[in-house]
Amino acid sequence: MKKIQDLYKENSITDMAKALFKEERAKKRLDGWFLAREIAFKQEARLQELPSELRAAYELSAIVKDLPLSISDHSIFAGTQSDSFARSYALINPAFRVESFSGYCDPVAVYDDIIPNSEITKERIAKAKRAAQDTEYAKKLGEVYHSYSRYTTEVAFFVEQVTGHLIPDFRYALRNGISRMIEELENKISKERKEKKRINFAAMKIALEATVTLAGRYADLVAEKAGGADGQRKKQLELLERTLRKVPKYGAENLYEAIQAYLLLWEVLCLEQAPNPFAFSVGNADRIFEPYRALEDTPREIAAALFKHFLTFFNVGDRSWAISQNVLIGGKTKDGMDLTNETSYALLDAYYDMNLPQPILSVKLHKNTPEKLYQELGKFFFTPGCLTPSIFNDDVIFEVLQKRGIEPDDLENYAVAGCQEPLIMGKDNGNTTNSWLNLAKILELTLNSGVSTITGKKIGVPYHDDFKEILGNVREAFYENVAFYISKMAEAANGASKAISCLPVPFLSAFMGGMESGIDTRDTEEQGTKYNGSGCLIHGLSVVADSFCALDHFLKERPNDCDTLLHALQDNFEGHEELRRYLLECPKYGNNIEEVDDEAAEVVNRVSDMIAAQKNYLGNSFRPDWSSPSTHLLYGYWVGATPDGRKAREMLGYGVDPLYGEAGNGLGFRILSTMRLPFIKMSGGYASHFGIDPKYFTGKTYEEKGIDFAKRIITPLFFNPENKNLSPFYLYVNVTTPEILRKVRTNPKKYAPSGVYIMRIHGTFVNFLDLSPEIQNDIIKRLDPASTAIQTHKTA
């Protein structure tokens, strides 16, 4: 068979990818998920007597069989994610408002996002919504949110009904084909004695067969298009048809076939959980695809061109609505050998040239990372409006994961789910965003005897009516309340997990260890994956640490002003400007001040231990995750004034970072503060952001700047020889200034003529011009240039 480069020139593959992206961004409607749910609901009568696992499999089979398909004239592969997502993700919705956001807790709210037309009428929408409301899943989830609304309404904590984020492992299917997996399942069904496992194996078989059905439907469609084509395009379509007849039913034998197989597997994966599947991630993409590139020694430039189509696949509709799908490159083996390969660099080429809002790019580093990789990263960091990868420190993450119980042979197969959560590909169901804890809100309630200063509602349990008595025992009172809210949060989170277990996922389970265990990934009674846990994203570290330190100074220096402080907090400092100035001038985390930095470390230690002591639905530990994916802004809106001088409804500190504006001594001091944190306790991950001014890097080439970036940012943070503790292991950056972003927002035609200007908002990057004004302002504010100023040495 001819190689792909015999039918396509490198430039033509790239041109088609860019035209395909342009075509995708022109889509203003995403109706496929609705059609998929209608198809599923129509199966209810004939499937209602079957076990839920088989019902799910047959529903998926019906969706794949009946959903309308199409292939663009710009496509060199078949497949789409557009039928799995709705236009509803809040942060890139121009109508988003912090004050009206209430989380993704209503499973039928997505039906309100559809704009009716002549085909999808109000009546059809209402009928489908009623069917969704009538499911056991929706009813059970509603009960959970109703039972815990006292605590979730003002976000003392929050919970989500998630399985993810997750990283399915398709490598076996790419190598051996779906047919081999089906044969193995048939053998297991014939030998398995437990009915539950037989049912699960049967459901997986039906779900896998749906992938072969989808490939066949696409092949028929391509054959029809080929019949009306001529010349080179006819040959290209004939190759695509032959490929679809082969994969993913049988194993791939070159890079083109491997990418095509992967896209179809991913399409079915997402259709199974439409609408808005829970942020699946690709994992270590360079290791997944390098064996197939090597089989034909596909040149880097051709591989890069093919990967441009691969990346385009992950962009859905006019705002790239498929958020938080992560692709990784780099890393090391458990023995310290570097795993960067030719596909790593081909993927970087594809990312840089396309510069798409999705999927996320993450890079795994270690002490032996080759200098070439840092050189290649230079262009990402220092090209204005270009995506910047998340950075992970394998040397530390391996230690964190081992402490979490990950076996040594699995360490190099960790990848990143969603924004930044480290999981093992195909083996780890971490339920990573299952629960969210708001320490700042708990502090507010502690100081006000359980009463919200935002609404006046009594939410928490009173500790003491005497404010001076509370201040004198503030830490004891706070941690007692944290323990109370955490216990309630774990109950609610487990309830949400049990609700979503009503929706089995046999296709996903086949790539998450279900082929071995015979148990569905979402099962809350038996464990289907090798590793399992539940996540808790913890908010408010810097606010709490700064507040404790400010209270210490206040009690020592102004002990007679306790009543004044109470009223100042309740009045949001109105009429108490002098007191607020005093509180703001107290030591703040992030400036290398021992007393407050040690306080932050103590908060992390104590709260992480409390979280890890909680057990999920299977008796496994909750995983402390000190990140806040823009929820530092959303949850801060529900927190009253705090003793650090922060006003009511202002944002909280992002992840483990200082509160914006409070760390003014530059990057060196900020790194020293960060190093005091006990990262070994952050088994679920954490978030941290540096806003870097490009003026500090004066290399003449991108390669030189990449090496300088490694020396001045990465090495001091990740590989600092003076650090005797466990180093940080995660970072993302925006290399720009507030002034530049204000210019881009004011005059996008001049500064972003393509209509795309990529920025980070947390563990994902998006088009800055797609964001709501509130999120744009958040990015600008959190660049916080004083906290990341780099000392420069001028020469004579």
pLDDT in tens, 552-594: 999 999 999 999 999 999 999 999 999 999 999 999 999 999 9
Write out the two tokens for 142: 């509603």
Angle at which helices 231-246 and 195-227 cross, to 10°: 170
Give the list of residues 6+ apart from residue 462 with CB closer than 8 angstroms, or none.
449, 450
Give dist(CA 92, CA 740) in Å, integer.
Answer: 20
How much of the chain is in helix, strand and coil states, percent to nearest 5?
55, 10, 40
Query: Is pLDDT at 629 greater than 90 in this prediction?
Result: no
Query: Is pLDDT at 543 greater than 70 in this prediction?
Result: yes
Confidence at residue 106, expressed as pLDDT on a 0 to 100 scale: 84
What are the CA-CA distances from residue 334 to residues 399, 410, 682 (Å)? 11, 9, 20
Place 104 in a pLDDT band, splitting at 50, 70 and 90: low
Type of residue at 120: I
Collapse the DSSP code of 615 into the 3-class scheme (helix H, G, I; strand E, B; otherwise coil) and give the result. strand
**What is the DSSP code string of 589-635?**
TTS--HHHHHHHHHHHHHHHHHHHT-B-TTSPBEEEEE--TTHHHHH
Nearest partner of 496 among 42, 106, 127, judged by Cα? 106
Average confidence (pLDDT) over 492-508: 97
Average confidence (pLDDT) over 170-198: 98
pLDDT in tens, 383-409: 999 999 999 999 999 999 999 999 999
Bridge partners of 534?
622
Confidence at residue 794, expressed as pLDDT on a 0 to 100 scale: 41
Q: Give the residue ranges of DSSP H helices in 326-473.
A: 342-354, 371-382, 394-403, 439-447, 467-472
Give dist(CA 407, CA 413) in Å, integer.
Answer: 11
Place 422 in a pLDDT band, splitting at 50, 70 and 90: very high
Q: Is the peptide bond before 275 cis (omega within 30 degrees of 0)?
A: yes
Confidence at residue 778, expressed as pLDDT on a 0 to 100 scale: 85
Average confidence (pLDDT) over 283-306: 97
Do 128 and 37 touch, CB atoms closer than 8 A?
A: yes
Q: What percent of the chain shows pLDDT beyond 90?
A: 87
pLDDT in tens, 151-167: 999 999 999 988 668 99
How many Å separate Cα 505 from the centre of its chain?
Answer: 20
Weakest-pLDDT range from 16-25, 86-95, 694-703, 752-761: 86-95
pLDDT in tens, 221-236: 999 999 999 999 999 9
Type of residue at 673: S
Confidence at residue 199, expressed as pLDDT on a 0 to 100 scale: 98
Type of residue at 756: V
Weakest-pLDDT range from 454-463, 655-664, 718-727: 454-463
Query: Is pLDDT at 100 greater than 70 in this prediction?
Result: no
**List of long-range contacts for 695-701, beta carbons under 8 Å, 24+ apart:** 696/790, 696/792, 697/382, 699/378, 701/378
Nearest partner of 397 among 334, 348, 442, judged by Cα? 334
Confidence at residue 93, expressed as pLDDT on a 0 to 100 scale: 65
Place 795 in a pLDDT band, splitting at 50, 70 and 90: very low
Give dist(CA 624, CA 154) in Å, integer.
Answer: 21
Confidence at residue 70, expressed as pLDDT on a 0 to 100 scale: 97
Task: Please state whether beta strands 390-393 and 360-365 pair in parallel, antiparallel, or not at all (unpaired).
Answer: parallel
Average confidence (pLDDT) over 653-672: 95
Do 366 and 393 touch, CB atoms closer than 8 A?
A: yes
Give dist(CA 785, CA 663) in Å, integer.
Answer: 10
Q: Order the strands of the 360-365 sheet from edge to edge.
A: 283-284, 326-330, 360-365, 390-393, 730-735, 689-692
Structural domain spans, the chain: 31-97+177-265, 436-686
Bridge partners of 435?
159, 536
Collapse the DSSP code of 516 into the 3-class scheme (helix H, G, I; strand E, B; otherwise coil) and give the result. helix
Confidence at residue 464, expressed as pLDDT on a 0 to 100 scale: 66
**Burial call 281-318: b when 16+ CB within 10 Å, e when fewer:** bbbbbbbbbbbbbeeeebeeebbbbbbbbbbbbbbbbb
Place 774 in a pLDDT band, splitting at 50, 70 and 90: confident
Indicate the helix (H) or strand (E) that contains 732.
strand 730-735
Which stretches of 93-188 are assigned E, i.e. beta strand? 157-159
Confidence at residue 796, expressed as pLDDT on a 0 to 100 scale: 31
Place 91 in a pLDDT band, splitting at 50, 70 and 90: low
Type of residue at 525: E
Query: Is pLDDT at 333 greater than 60 in this prediction?
Result: yes
Give dist(CA 542, CA 787) in Å, integer.
Answer: 14
Confidence at residue 162, expressed as pLDDT on a 0 to 100 scale: 82
Confidence at residue 1, expressed as pLDDT on a 0 to 100 scale: 58
Give dist(CA 340, CA 330) in Å, integer.
Answer: 5
Weakest-pLDDT range from 6-15, 232-241, 296-305, 454-463: 454-463
Confidence at residue 462, expressed as pLDDT on a 0 to 100 scale: 73
Collapse the DSSP code of 210 into the 3-class scheme (helix H, G, I; strand E, B; otherwise coil) and give the result. helix
**What is the DSSP code string of 282-298?**
-EEHHHHHHHHHHHTT-
Query: Is pLDDT at 517 greater than 60 in this prediction?
Result: yes
Average pLDDT, the chain: 94
Bridge partners of 590?
none
Write out the two tokens for 174: 């790419």
